[in-house]
Amino acid sequence: MIGITSCGYHVPFYRLEREKIGHAWARRPGRGERAAIYFDEDALTLGMEAAQRCLEDTGKTGIDGVYFASTSAPFRQRSAASFLAAACDLRPECETADFGASLRSATTALRAGLDAVGSGRLSQVLIAAGEVRDGQPGEGQEDWFGDAGSAV
């Protein structure tokens, strides 16, 4: 049966109060707070933390594919998925692929993973996503976006 056997997530520790964002741009402040990365974090580290939590339940054996999805990946030409596979101490012969440049990149990675397993080409695929979305300064997006990672 093809499906999700485990999941993991990571939300950064730091928070940015929406009230402070509103005051900085002289507009009505929002309520609550948004998750924000620290200087040494990026979309890949968020996805990696989520992937490691996901692997706590199922273990590493049997995983032969690693897909990483992000619109805010730290690299344009280097493979973030291969870094993710190495950080999770997976087999070096794992197939890796990066998905990006679209808000649907995580959904596309999930579908690709399901297709790879469904066709019998791969047996288990780890799919991780991480986002560090920056909104336009002074616009509402700055309030809405938060940083996080997830993995299945």
In tens, the pLDDT along 67-89 reads 999 999 999 889 999 999 999 99
pLDDT digits (tens, 9 = 90+) for 13-64: 999 898 888 888 888 878 889 999 999 999 999 999 999 999 998 899 999 9
Token pair of 37 as six digits: 């990365």
pLDDT for 9: 98
Q: Which domains does the chain have, with CATH numbers?
A: 8-151 (3.40.47.10)
pLDDT digits (tens, 9 = 90+) for 98-109: 999 899 999 999
* pLDDT of residue 93 exceeding 80: yes
* pLDDT of residue 143 exceeding 80: no
Q: Please, what is the end-to-end C-alpha distance for the chain in angstroms?
A: 15
Q: CA 88 → CA 1, 31, 35, distances in Å?
A: 25, 37, 24
Predicted TM-score (pTM) of this structure: 0.92
Residue 10 near residue 49, CB atoms below 8 Å:
yes
Min mean pLDDT across 60-74, 84-98, 100-114, 129-143 is at: 129-143
Token pair of 124 as six digits: 């288990």
| Other C-beta atoms lying within 10 Å of the C-beta of residue 15 | 13
